[in-house]
Amino acid sequence: MLTQILWLKDDFLPPTLNSTLTPVPEPGPGEVQVTVCSVGICGSDVTLWQRGQIGEYRVTAPLILGHEPSGVISKLGEGVTGVEVGDRVAVEPNVACGHCSYCRRGHYNLCSHLRYLATPPTDGALCRYFCHPASFVHKLPDNVSFDEGAMVQPLSLGFYACQRAEVNIGDYVLVSGAGPLGMIVMLAARARGAVRICVTDINPGRLEFIKEIGADVTVLVAAGEESKETSRRVVQAVGREVDVSIECSGSHSGTSTAIYSTRPRGVVCQVGFGSNTVQIPLTTATMKELDIRGMIRFANTYQTVIEAIASGKVDVKQLITHRYSLANALEAYNAALNQLGVKVIVDCRRDTDLGWYANNDHECL
Asked if the structure places residue 301 within a domain, the reply is no
The secondary structure element, H or E, covering residue 139 is strand 137-139
Residue 32 predicted with pLDDT over 90: yes
Closest CA to 364 of 86, 48, 80: 86
In angstroms and rounded to an integer, the radius of gyration of the C-alpha atoms of the chain is: 20
**Residue 66, C-beta contacts closer than 8 angstroms, at least 6 positions apart:** 39, 40, 41, 45, 117, 118, 124, 125, 126, 127, 346
pLDDT in tens, 155-165: 999 999 999 99
- CA dihedral (69, 72, 78, 80) positive or negative: positive
Q: What is the DSSP letter of 155?
A: H
pLDDT in tens, 76-95: 999 999 999 999 999 999 99
Question: How much of the chain is in helix, strand and coil states, percent to nearest 5?
Answer: 30, 25, 45
Asked if the structure places residue 364 within a domain, the reply is no
In this structure, are 275 and 207 located in the same domain? yes
Residue 11 — pLDDT band, cuts 50, 70, 90? very low
Looking at the DSSP assignment, which residues form a beta bridge with residue 244? 173, 267
Exposure on the CB side of residue 66, measured as CA atoms within 13 A: 33
Query: Between these two residues, 351 and 129, which has the higher pLDDT value?
Result: 129
Asked if the structure places residue 97 within a domain, the reply is yes
Work out how many domains the chain is built from and give that number: 2
Residue 68 predicted with pLDDT over 50: yes
Residue 321 CB: number of other CB atoms within 10 A?
A: 13
Residue 365 predicted with pLDDT over 50: no
Residue 340 predicted with pLDDT over 80: yes
Looking at the DSSP assignment, which residues form a beta bridge with residue 269? 246, 293
pLDDT score at 286 = 98
* Alpha-carbon span 152 to 68, nearest angstrom: 8
In this structure, are 182 and 45 located in the same domain? no
Identify the CATH number of the domain in which residue 266 sits. Answer: 3.40.50.720
pLDDT score at 181 = 94
Closest CA to 347 of 19, 37, 101: 37
Please tell me whether residue 312 adopts helix, strand or coil conformation. coil
Asked if the structure places residue 304 within a domain, the reply is no
Of the listed ranges 4-8, 69-73, 214-218, the least confidently predicted one is 4-8
In this structure, are 37 and 117 located in the same domain? yes
Burial 19-40 (b: 16+ CB within 10 A, else e): beeeebbebeeebbbbbbbbbb
Asked if the structure places residue 302 within a domain, the reply is no
3-state secondary structure 20-84: CECCCCCCCCCEEEEEEEEEECCHHHHHHHHHCEECCEECCCCCCCCCCEEEEEEEECCCCCCCC
Taking CA atoms, 171 is separated from 177, 184, 241, in Å, by 19, 17, 11
* Alpha-carbon span 192 to 285, nearest angstrom: 25
* Alpha-carbon span 125 to 120, nearest angstrom: 13
**Residue 325, C-beta contacts closer than 8 angstroms, at least 6 positions apart:** 346, 347, 349, 352, 353, 354, 355, 357
Domain range enclosing 242: 166-294
Identify the CATH number of the domain in which residue 113 sits. Answer: 3.90.180.10
Residue 6 predicted with pLDDT over 80: no
Residue 221 — pLDDT band, cuts 50, 70, 90? very high
Exposure on the CB side of residue 314, measured as CA atoms within 13 A: 28
Task: Output the furthest CA–CA distance in the chain (Å, rounded).
Answer: 61
- CA dihedral (63, 67, 70, 72) positive or negative: positive
Asked if the structure places residue 157 within a domain, the reply is no
Residue 13 predicted with pLDDT over 70: no
In this structure, are 195 and 322 located in the same domain? no
In this structure, are 170 and 145 located in the same domain? no
* Alpha-carbon span 63 to 48, nearest angstrom: 10
In this structure, are 125 and 32 located in the same domain? yes
pLDDT score at 275 = 79
Residue 73 predicted with pLDDT over 50: yes
pLDDT in tens, 163-193: 999 999 999 999 999 999 999 999 999 999 9
Asked if the structure places residue 212 within a domain, the reply is yes
In this structure, are 134 and 9 located in the same domain? yes
pLDDT score at 54 = 84
Taking CA atoms, 111 is separated from 101, 121, 158, 163, 294, in Å, by 8, 16, 20, 19, 16
In this structure, are 137 and 8 located in the same domain? yes
In this structure, are 146 and 10 located in the same domain? yes
In this structure, are 61 and 130 located in the same domain? yes
Asked if the structure places residue 29 within a domain, the reply is yes
In this structure, are 122 and 224 located in the same domain? no
In this structure, are 259 and 334 located in the same domain? no
